[in-house]
Amino acid sequence: MTTNMQVLLASRPTGWVTEENFKTVSTPVPAPADGQVLVRNHYLSLDPYMRGRMNDTKSYAAKQEIDAVMVGGTVGEVIESKNPKFKAGDIVVGAYGWQQYGCSDGAGLNKVDVSRVPMSAYLGVIGMPGVTAWVGLLDICQPKAGETVVVSAASGAVGSAVGQIAKLKGCRAVGIAGGKEKCDYVVNELGFDACVDYKAGRLRQDLKAATPDGIDCYFENVGGEILDAVLARTNAFSRVAVCGLISQYNATEPYGVKTFQAILVNRIKVQGFIVSDRLNLWPPALKDLADWVASGKLKYRETIAQGLENAPKAFIGLLKGQNFGKQLVKLI
Amino acid sequence: MTTNMQVLLASRPTGWVTEENFKTVSTPVPAPADGQVLVRNHYLSLDPYMRGRMNDTKSYAAKQEIDAVMVGGTVGEVIESKNPKFKAGDIVVGAYGWQQYGCSDGAGLNKVDVSRVPMSAYLGVIGMPGVTAWVGLLDICQPKAGETVVVSAASGAVGSAVGQIAKLKGCRAVGIAGGKEKCDYVVNELGFDACVDYKAGRLRQDLKAATPDGIDCYFENVGGEILDAVLARTNAFSRVAVCGLISQYNATEPYGVKTFQAILVNRIKVQGFIVSDRLNLWPPALKDLADWVASGKLKYRETIAQGLENAPKAFIGLLKGQNFGKQLVKLI
């Protein structure tokens, strides 16, 4: 194989992303110059934040440029190195984006230990999504043992870690997920105390039943009606970490949050965060996560699309909640 | 005078408060028992929080009971004391509610120094509203010199202090108020850098012009469309102290906040607070406030209704923004 397949942003979506917003091209595999390293990517990470980058609006990150390779985290193997810090065979995590090969000076590339866990975990539970769960729950929400922690998108890469970490800290963990299969997984496999199926049509009643002592911490991934239902169940001095609002990313009209007054009445702290703002917390978070995964205390699940050409479809599925656990694309 | 006029809650309002929700009664002036003190109230404080107490809903404070004297802060003179801590002639701040006399064991009653400032100031700028401004701005928002601080209800008892304290801390202070007269006062008398008249029909354009560098801190008193307009102008890592949502207190349908996503994109911290939760901050706040008032750095304005019988009308006017500065009722 001498070509490097790449997926570029072809056009910016209005509302829902479609496959036509992407285009696939083949370019020559780059030859590393002195100081550079060439990596064959094994897995590409698909994450909701990418939807925001596709917009032409002010945001916390630089927008994705048209006709440029889509941004994204990758893990793969060094196949040629002219950089003394790396050698062929090293397994490295980086951000080469939606392409089969990456070539760079090695900045931001980290070698990972695949003796205890498979390399794909470094894009999920021991990577950005896991650190996101750790930071939002432990640094922002700071739950105390015995408190009730609720997390939306509970079977996803971030949500599944949030609930399990809450359990490790002695909390009652309640998930919100779409469909019986995901809810069963969250309770039976991951050990949450309860999970509310928001597609069942009884969101408020089911959430009330699952949180008999109210809600002390909420880890928000979705927004919309679920946010309103949760805020209505909050206790005094509760904390809300706003990590994502995936229900809004493709909406043409923003949802109007009707329970804002709960923030006043219950003296809630609501805080939005982006894990890349908190680089100082990555080392302690990654250490905890790796230990918990290696010792079997922190489980994870992956949905793996096969082949880069299927990345756009898999990404659209992710935005619609069709994945189950961490969404990856296997590139070889 | 041997009777004690009192205003009781007659019925709970649905939507807007009306004068029919209150009733006025005359009772005998109580005779203090051993350990008790009898106070003739000179001023009654009217505050937005009272609207919440009138509802039969869960809130941070006990609800106002039907046929009980309306709650409220008062300042007055001890006219008879059988408590060694007080003597006739002492000027005391307490919470005797909407009545001409108060009689109690003295718990929660504080003597105040009226040599430097008039007693009414202890219900406003050197009292609960002033401490509210101090706590929400300095403890929650923590503005840095050079940042832009926006406050709604800017000519009110709390808002007028927020903007002046922001100026004392080296910030750009921008008010939002209803009408040209209030805005002129906020800028010309209180020294804010700008004030947006939300009644002028150009809220978003005027707010943008008044905040050329965006908004770093927002002290929220009103909610609704003003909240949406402000959140849309926030900078990264901005802070919002939610002190009140007066536009919602008489609404039968809650306003839907459409800019919640700004909390994520800008990593905003939004925190609701009630000043009575933070008793440890009252002493340093009151010291600052008294010093600033005595030295002329912190100005205030009062709207004074004459006679307890006019308290219901004045309270309804407060909820409609008809007051200008701190709303008081003069009782003698």
* DSSP, residue by residue, B222-242: S-THHHHHHHTTEEEEEEEEE
Give the span between the Cα atoms of B138 and B284, in whole angstroms: 11
**Interface contact flag, A267 B272, Cβ < 8 Å:** yes
| Pick among B63, B261, B268 to test the A interface (most A CBs inside 10 A) | B261
Question: Contact, A263 vs A232, CB < 8 A?
Answer: no
How many C-alpha atoms does B141 have within 13 Å on its Cβ side?
Answer: 33
pLDDT > 70: percent of chain B = 99
Question: Contact, B167 vs B203, CB < 8 A?
Answer: no
Residue B90 CA to its chain's centroid (Å): 25
> Which among A23, A211, A225 is positioned nearest to B256, based on CA atoms?
A225
| Pick among A260, A266, A271, A274 to test the B interface (most B CBs inside 10 A) | A260
Give the span between the Cα atoms of B67 and B7, in whole angstroms: 9
| CA-based nearest residue in chain B for residue A276 | B267
Give the span between the Cα atoms of A306 and B161, in whole angstroms: 61
Question: Contact, A196 vs A182, CB < 8 A?
Answer: no
| CA-based nearest residue in chain B for residue A256 | B256
Is a pLDDT exceeding 60 seen at residue B1?
no
Give the span between the Cα atoms of B116 and A215, in whole angstroms: 48
pLDDT for the residue B38: 98
What are A80-119's pLDDT values in tens digits?
A: 999 999 999 999 999 999 999 999 999 999 999 999 899 9
Q: Which two tokens stand for residue A270?
A: 């609501």
Q: Terminal CA-to-CA distance of chain B, rounded, Å? A: 11
What are B99-145's pLDDT values in tens digits?
A: 999 999 999 999 999 998 999 999 999 999 999 999 999 999 999 99
pLDDT for the residue A1: 54
Residues of A in contact with B58 (CB under 8 A): 265
pLDDT for the residue A252: 87
Is a pLDDT exceeding 80 seen at residue B60?
no
What are A116-139's pLDDT values in tens digits?
A: 899 999 999 999 999 999 999 999
The helix/strand/coil state of B188 is: helix
What are A39-83's pLDDT values in tens digits?
A: 999 999 999 999 999 998 777 677 899 999 999 999 999 999 999
Give the span between the Cα atoms of B274 and A266, in whole angstroms: 9
Instruction: Name the DSSP class of A35.
Output: T
Q: Which two tokens stand for residue A106?
A: 């090695």
Give the span between the Cα atoms of A22 and A149, in whole angstroms: 38
pLDDT for the residue A50: 95
Task: Map B70-122 to HEC letters.
Answer: CCCCEEEEEEEECCCCCCCCCEEEECCCCECEEEECCCCCEECCCCCCCHHHH
- Mean pLDDT taken over chain A: 96
What are A153-202's pLDDT values in tens digits?
A: 999 999 999 999 999 999 999 999 999 999 999 999 999 999 999 999 99
Instruction: Compute the count of residue pairs across chains A and B with CB atoms less than 8 Å apart.
Output: 99
**Nearest-neighbour CA in chain B from A258: distance (Å):** 5
pLDDT > 90: percent of chain A = 94
**Nearest-neighbour CA in chain A from B225: distance (Å):** 11
What are B177-214's pLDDT values in tens digits?
A: 999 999 999 999 999 999 999 999 999 999 999 999 99
**E strand or H helix at B286:** helix B282-294
Picking from A248, A258, A259, the nearest residue to B261 by CB comes out as A248
Mean local confidence (pLDDT), B158-173: 98
Query: Band of the pLDDT at B250, cuts 50, 70, 90?
Result: confident
pLDDT for the residue A61: 73
Picking from B245, B254, B267, the nearest residue to A273 by CB comes out as B267
Q: What is the largest CA-CA distance in chain B?
A: 63
**Interface contact flag, A268 B271, Cβ < 8 Å:** yes
Domains of chain A: 3-124+301-330 (3.90.180.10), 128-276 (3.40.50.720)
Q: Which residues of B touch A (CB under 8 A)?
A: 52, 58-60, 223, 227, 236, 242-245, 248, 254-261, 263-274, 277
Q: Which two tokens stand for residue B68?
A: 């009980």
**E strand or H helix at B262:** helix B261-265
| CA-based nearest residue in chain B for residue A225 | B256
pLDDT > 70: percent of chain A = 99
Is a pLDDT exceeding 90 seen at residue A147?
yes
What are A232-241's pLDDT values in tens digits?
A: 999 999 999 9
**Interface contact flag, A266 B272, Cβ < 8 Å:** yes
Give the span between the Cα atoms of A145 and A167, in whole angstroms: 9
Is a pLDDT exceeding 70 seen at residue A151?
yes
Picking from A245, A248, A267, the nearest residue to B277 by CB comes out as A267
| CA-based nearest residue in chain B for residue A232 | B58
Give the span between the Cα atoms of B92 and A27, in whole angstroms: 82
**Nearest-neighbour CA in chain B from A75: distance (Å):** 27
Tell which phi-psi region holds residue B175, choosing left (phi > 0), alpha (psi between -120 and 50) or beta.
beta
| CA-based nearest residue in chain A for residue B222 | A261
- Mean pLDDT taken over chain B: 96
Picking from A244, A248, A272, the nearest residue to B266 by CB comes out as A272
**Interface contact flag, B255 A254, Cβ < 8 Å:** no
Residues of A in contact with B244 (CB under 8 A): 264
What are A263-275's pLDDT values in tens digits?
A: 999 999 999 999 9
**Interface contact flag, A255 B259, Cβ < 8 Å:** no
Picking from A60, A236, A259, the nearest residue to B60 by CB comes out as A236
Length of chain B: 332
The helix/strand/coil state of B41 is: strand
Give the span between the Cα atoms of B227 and B219, in whole angstroms: 10
Residue A318 CA to its chain's centroid (Å): 10
pLDDT for the residue B252: 87
Query: Band of the pLDDT at B303, cuts 50, 70, 90?
Result: very high
Question: Contact, B149 vs B133, CB < 8 A?
Answer: no
